[in-house]
Structure 1
Amino acid sequence: MTRLRALDPARHGALRLDKARGAAERRLVPVGRGEIALAAADMPVLLAKDGQTGHFELVALVGLVEPVNLFVSPAGYHATSQPQAAGLTALRLDPEGADGLAVDEADASLGTAGEALFEGGRAKRWRRALEAALADVTAGRALADSYARRGVLRPLSVTLTMADGQEQVLDGLYGVAEAALAELADADVVAMHRADELAPAAVLTASLAQVERLRQLHNARFSRQIAAIGLGIAD
């Protein structure tokens, strides 16, 4: 549940934002185009389709069975880096609020720890940070849409085999199919290279190996263990 309110110094003046707690209750977080390599150092970076717009976007898979971010714990954030948008899940753009912002008062990142939302009665530079994160996410969405237009995206199956033998499937995820890339015409490959789309595709594919780290993090936290994870990209 969200509880959005326009940012108000009278109501929110004492609140702090702990970016390490951002996206604590999410399995997928948006990734900006400029963050692909950093995110891939710890987590699988995939693509998901927006059910309303039909557009694809870059996302990091940060949870498996439970709707939690496995990199977030009471002790802090445990990864090389954190996607910018994931640390700012409590904020929204809102012209009615201070500094043009609203806050989700129910977000786990808001409380008494972290950076103050206000300093001397004025909102700190949160809007600038949010706008930068959203701009990079928009660039990532444009990259994902380019892959879709070139016909190189395929559904990605992620099957979790639990220790009791039961299976769970994560739906709605996509990956860049190497076979589809190999079938592109030379002119398309050159165009992708010049648009800096080939290197990110390779990083996305390599990042799938990080599902094993997610399995380890899950098993360290939850009693219902994951014995194995199967991955496959449709032809």
Structure 2
Amino acid sequence: MTNLVAINYGAHKHLKIDTAKTQEHSATQNMLPVVVAEFSQVSVQHPIVLAKSGETGEFTLTALLGFEQHENLFSKDGQWQGVYIPLQLQRQPFFVGDIQTEVAGDYAVCINLDSPSIVRDLAQNNVNDIQILFTESGEDSDYFVKMKQCLGYLLQGEIENKALIDTLLALNLVQPLSLDVTFCNKQSSRLNGLYTVSEEKVAALDPEQIGRLHKAQQLKPIYTMINSLGQLYPLIERKNQQLVSVND
């Protein structure tokens, strides 16, 4: 559930976050939104694909975490098992408010009060993982400053993501990703509704188009997306290992 409220010192000066539980937010997600700025880190362990929003029909950039709905092969006992934690998971339980404040270009920072990371009983938590939002003098804590920076990266990332997706569509580089997978227990899965970048169409671009992509700093993320599809095979192996451990 999501119960978002804008953070203010008066109402939340005593609020504490158990950072060990923030990763529980991804436990049932088989895809996680990512931004261009983190492609290099994400592509080390995840296929980066395009998916269409069920609400708007627009493309989004996502990291593939599993093959079934609600399956996250990188989550175990509520803890992230990957080398890199994507920004969308790092920023939990904080969000950017939909409505701007009176200051132009400024946004309200909100928190999900239904997050499992909200400390209810300090005695039941590992004190080493507990973070405060405000200091005794009322200033933002180092932790809260870091979370605001993370939200800022995501806001900027939305702009860069849209620019990249617009370019991919304008150059007709997007193609459906269809993949049939058979796991070690003979269970089959078909990936539908996902899209990727056509390597053949990128290779067929003329030098002027390639030059524009390079100047816009979009050539590298395009090839990163293409190359990241190689992570499908380690993802299949991760699924197979999970199936074997369940049957043992």
| Greater C-alpha radius of gyration | 2
Distance 2:196 2:206 in 1: 20
Aligned residues: 224
Q: Which of residues 191, 200, 204 in structure 2 aligns to 1:170?
A: 191
Query: Secondary structure in 2 aligned to 1:131?
Result: helix
1:169 CA displacement: 2.0
The C-alpha deviation readout for 1:50-100, integer Å capped at 9, x for no partner, is 334343222111122251432232384332312212222422223699x93
Which residue pairs with 1:138 in the alignment? Answer: 159
Distance 1:184 1:96 in 2: 41
Q: Does 1:119 align with 2:121?
A: no
The C-alpha deviation readout for 1:116-144, integer Å capped at 9, x for no partner, is 24233655223332122231243123212
Query: Secondary structure in 2 aligned to 1:143?
Result: helix
Q: Calculate the TM-score normalised by the size of structure 2.
A: 0.75
Distance 1:115 1:42 in 2: 29
Q: Calculate the TM-score normalised by the size of structure 1.
A: 0.79
Q: Does 1:183 align with 2:182?
A: no
Which residue pairs with 1:16 in the alignment? Answer: 18
Q: Does the 8 A contact of 1:55 with 1:145 survive in 2?
A: no
CA RMSD of aligned residues (A): 3.1
Query: Secondary structure in 1 aligned to 2:16?
Result: coil
Distance 2:186 2:81 in 1: 29
Which residue pairs with 2:182 in the alignment? Answer: 161
Q: Which of residues 76, 90, 95 in structure 2 aligns to 1:92?
A: 95
Q: Which of residues 192, 211, 216 in structure 1 aligns to 2:232?
A: 211
The C-alpha deviation readout for 1:132-162, integer Å capped at 9, x for no partner, is 2231243123212211111001011132324
Distance 2:187 2:75 in 1: 26
Q: Which has the larger helix fraction?
A: 2
Which residue pairs with 2:81 in the alignment? Answer: 78
Q: Does 1:3 align with 2:6?
A: no
Query: Secondary structure in 2 aligned to 1:213?
Result: helix
Q: Which has the larger strand fraction?
A: 1
- Matched-pair identity in %: 24
Q: Structure 2 unaligned segments of length 5 or more: list them.
A: 102-106, 120-124
Letter of the 2:110 partner, please give it: A
Query: Secondary structure in 2 aligned to 1:160?
Result: strand
Q: Structure 1 unaligned segments of length 5 or more: list them.
A: 226-235
Q: Does the 8 A contact of 1:91 with 1:101 survive in 2?
A: yes
1:209 CA displacement: 1.2
1:163 CA displacement: 4.3
The C-alpha deviation readout for 1:13-32, integer Å capped at 9, x for no partner, is 13333454442321111111
Structure 1 residues 109 and 22, CA, compared in 2 at 3 Å: closer, same or farther?
A: farther
Distance 2:175 2:100 in 1: 41
Q: Does the 8 A contact of 2:15 with 2:118 survive in 1?
A: no
Q: Does the 8 A contact of 2:24 with 2:78 survive in 1?
A: no
The C-alpha deviation readout for 1:150-182, integer Å capped at 9, x for no partner, is 100101113232445443223221111012123
Which residue pairs with 2:111 in the alignment? Answer: 103
- Write out the 4+ residue segments of structure 1 that deviate beyond 6 Å after TM superposition: none
Q: Does the 8 A contact of 1:100 with 1:127 survive in 2?
A: no
